[in-house]
Chain A
């Protein structure tokens, strides 16, 4: 049953990813990207990593997809315009694909039978994050706060200029 689910999810995810890369309208591409995120989350569920799957849905669909959609909406005047074919994108895609294949071929293959991993309860993840990984966590938090303040400063209007315009 798991292999059937795997194949169905894989087909859906890949189709959505392909659509995201090839659809002419940017918003359609972004929405398909969100479907890809759901597919990845479904893989995590299939692997028994419930927490990671939920966080994937939470962060990538609730935040990142909405962010992408709004960025497209707020930065482009012609959202619907067909932007033609971009050859530099092909170069980047081929480079990334080549890099991934090189890395995968370079790693020694895993033993076929996966070792038995005990299910990781959410509570344990929280404990570990708050004890052994508390410094990385705090650093990430600080970085995100800095990014947030930076974004605010970028869009903040200069008081003087506003007065001059009026």
Chain B
């Protein structure tokens, strides 16, 4: 491949760095290798977080017909630096009746779990920071720890708003973890591996020479991708599912009693979690670092990954700028009555596709299964009031 040198440039740099350690004892090399991976991960994703925080405000500003941040640096791009300094020098207020240790540990735990989840995603060809056999399982195992951290934040603050917010957050996270994980199942079934690298490798190649074999282009993959994305919105507490926070009802939810840098840590964990779940969506359904068209393969693989990630992140911002919030009972009803049955349907549709031989008949059969269940569910769950044509009694 022509772009091989550029494609593998980061691997080369790492090898060059490790070559400095040739005389070192045996145990030092794996540790140094891990440390380089961790430093790269943190560097890339913390800068992405800074960039995202300013871009989100800029894009939201554009959608709402205003300027957004434009005072600090060119186009307001240095805004995150100013925000960071502001957060650092703010007073750290801890409530007198708070459980000090739990209150202190919650933001650390939540940020640590969010960053850990980033470790198993393949960012490019040979660019998985920590390639383990059950990578997908690791992602969800680490993600499930977030609930405990949210609980610690809510309980440790010793505040009604915090506790109620934490309850809401945990309720919706547990409810949506089920569809989130079950929508991953069809991919694992078809690839028959839990390793992210194998999943990306399975989406290699093109049908008819130009249609990529990404799972999102199969009917079950498209349905699973949409369900996964919606569940991801809930898991990262994003609009329209941002009920754990609400100025008019429960202040800032489990983050009410946090100020200064601890609040910034929560904020960062939320964004990192968003990157992680979007990264997993790219890996599972959008072909990971694979190029969308054969003649575009000269572009380095990591650029494709981050292009797809940015596209998903833009949709996150777009949804935030467009949709109103939902109520907590609506979220719950939606999870258990629609998302969960649809997620199971994806599994069945994937099995149909798989056993029909991955071809066109399987494509249509799989589409049929999903369409059937979708329409059945929509009719069964239709609880809208039937409105009669409006009559005006007094204003003729």
User: A residues touching B (Cβ–Cβ < 8 Å)?
Assistant: 1, 25, 27-28, 31, 34, 50-51, 54-55, 57-58, 61-63, 65-66, 69-70, 73, 121-123
* Residues in A neighbouring B177, C-beta threshold 8 A: 62
* Residues in B neighbouring A70, C-beta threshold 8 A: 151
Q: Is the C-beta of B137 less than 8 angstroms from some C-beta in chain A?
A: yes
The 10 closest A-B pairs by CB, nearest first: A62-B144, A57-B141, A58-B141, A54-B137, A54-B141, A122-B194, A122-B134, A66-B147, A1-B27, A54-B134
Can you list 21 A-B pairs with a CB-CB distance of less than 8 A? Answer: A1-B27, A25-B99, A27-B102, A28-B99, A31-B102, A50-B133, A51-B134, A54-B134, A54-B138, A57-B141, A57-B144, A57-B145, A58-B144, A61-B148, A62-B144, A62-B145, A62-B148, A62-B177, A63-B144, A66-B147, A122-B133
* Residues in B neighbouring A27, C-beta threshold 8 A: 99, 102, 155
* Residues in A neighbouring B137, C-beta threshold 8 A: 51, 54-55, 58, 122
Q: Is the C-beta of B193 less than 8 angstroms from some C-beta in chain A?
A: yes
By the criterion of a CB under 8 Å from any partner CB, how many residues of chain B are at the interface? 25
* Residues in B neighbouring A55, C-beta threshold 8 A: 137, 141
* Residues in A neighbouring B148, C-beta threshold 8 A: 31, 34, 61-62, 65-66, 69
* Residues in B neighbouring A66, C-beta threshold 8 A: 147-148, 151, 170, 174
Q: Is the C-beta of B192 less than 8 angstroms from some C-beta in chain A?
A: yes
Bound form: Cα–Cα A113–B215 in Å: 47
Q: Is chain A's binding surface mostly helix, strand, loop or mixed?
A: helix
Residues 213 to 265 of chain B near chain A (Cβ within 8 Å): none
* Residues in A neighbouring B147, C-beta threshold 8 A: 62, 66
Q: Is the C-beta of B140 less than 8 angstroms from some C-beta in chain A?
A: yes
* Residues in B neighbouring A73, C-beta threshold 8 A: 155
| Smallest CB separation, A135 vs chain B (Å) | 21
- Minimal Cβ-Cβ distance residue in B for A74: B167
Fill in one digit per residue for B141-184: 1 if any A CB lies within 8 Å of its CB, else 0.
Answer: 11111011001100100000000000000100010010000000
| Smallest CB separation, B349 vs chain A (Å) | 19
* Residues in B neighbouring A51, C-beta threshold 8 A: 133-134, 137
Q: Are A61 and B145 in contact (CB under 8 A)?
A: yes
* Residues in B neighbouring A28, C-beta threshold 8 A: 99, 102
| Smallest CB separation, B11 vs chain A (Å) | 24
* Residues in B neighbouring A65, C-beta threshold 8 A: 148
